[in-house]
Amino acid sequence: MTRPSAPKSRQPNGGSSIFQGKDGRWHGYVTVGVKDDGTPDRRHVSRKTRPEVTKVVRELERQRDKGAVRKVGQSWTLETWLTHWVENIAAAHVSENTIDGYRVAVNHHLIPGLGAHRLEKLQPEHLERFYKKMQDSGSAAGTAHQVHRTVRTALNEAVRRAHLTVNPAAIAKAPRLEEEEVEPYSVEEVQCLLAEAAKHRNTARWVIALALGLRQGEVLGMQWDDVDFDLGVIRVRRGRLRPRYKHGCGDRCGRKPGFCPQKINTRRETKNAKSRAGQRPIGVPDELLQLLRQHKEEQVRERARARDLWTEKGTCSPRPPASP
């Protein structure tokens, strides 16, 4: 004579339930949240004995109460998550330069090296071995460190959206960076640089960079409105972005977009400095102001020679006028 199955006890709405099924196994159901369609997210577990299933149910309840239950839905690999994150999440909220760095780390390093891993199965050791492999293959420690920062940011978002419960990149040891001491140019080196720069158009950009310690993008993004000749001040307000091109020929030239004869820049030319520290006034020596005045006068002469070919954008370092 077989023992009858234990009756399924009535639980309050959302409460966990444990019962023995007709298959002889013990089953448990735990409500851990709500699905995207609004229905309860009920997780099922099954074991041979009641104590076994009770233990699993209680652990699942504990994880639910801590907010550590992985969200039900798409099963992500590292490749599918990183692709989704970089194009649909990060791209809408970070600057052009930042997203370019993310895309390099994702598409050239992380996906080829680790992309097949299931997201929830990725371990800190996988990442640490990958960083070492990168450096053994010739990548600089800085490159491996950038990859680490990118995957850590991407997986933080996966945790925030409950696709992961723990970020393995937050546990993994980042590649070690050796701090390099910056050696300033000697007077002789500066003189050589300025002598060579004097042979080229827009000499002033090099002199400004050397004299004031500005970044390349800050110098190239400077406009005449940023120069106050009366007060002897330059206001750093923006930086120039690297161009990103697409074909203007319908991809018929057979070259990369940047070498297409009809290439089209798809990015804005400048971006404003994102912090008050980045937007700063800088005092300018009289000798540099005089050089800027001469540079502005030369630009006026260039504009007159170019006529209709000149595109006025107010920048101190315009590109050469297009050829007719």
Q: Any idea what the CATH number is for the domain that residue 205 is in?
A: 1.10.443.10
Same domain for 84 and 131?
Answer: yes
Is 28 within a domain? yes
- Residue 4, pLDDT above cutoff 50: no
Q: Which two tokens stand for residue 81?
A: 């998550």
Same domain for 144 and 196?
Answer: no
Interval 143-168: pLDDT, tens = 999 999 999 999 999 999 888 989 99
- Domain limits at 261? 238-272
- Residue 55, pLDDT above cutoff 50: yes
Total of domains in the chain: 4
Q: Which of 14-18, 145-149, 182-186, 320-324 has the lowest mean pLDDT?
A: 320-324
Is 214 within a domain? yes
Radius of gyration of the chain (CA): 30
% of the chain residues with pLDDT over 70:
89
Q: What is the pLDDT of residue 72?
A: 63
pTM of the model: 0.62
Nearest to 287 by CA among 216, 194, 215, 219: 194
> Mean pLDDT of all residues in the chain?
85
Q: What is the pLDDT of residue 324?
A: 39
pLDDT band at residue 49 under the 50/70/90 scheme: very high
Q: What is the pLDDT of residue 186?
A: 85
pLDDT band at residue 1 under the 50/70/90 scheme: very low
Which residue is listed with tokens 């960083």? 131
- Residue 32, pLDDT above cutoff 90: no
Same domain for 96 and 152?
Answer: yes
Q: Could you tell me if 45 and 60 are in contact, meaning their C-beta atoms sit under 8 angstroms apart?
A: yes
Is 5 within a domain? no
Same domain for 259 and 193?
Answer: no
Q: What gap in Å lies between CA 324 and CA 279, rounded to an integer?
A: 38
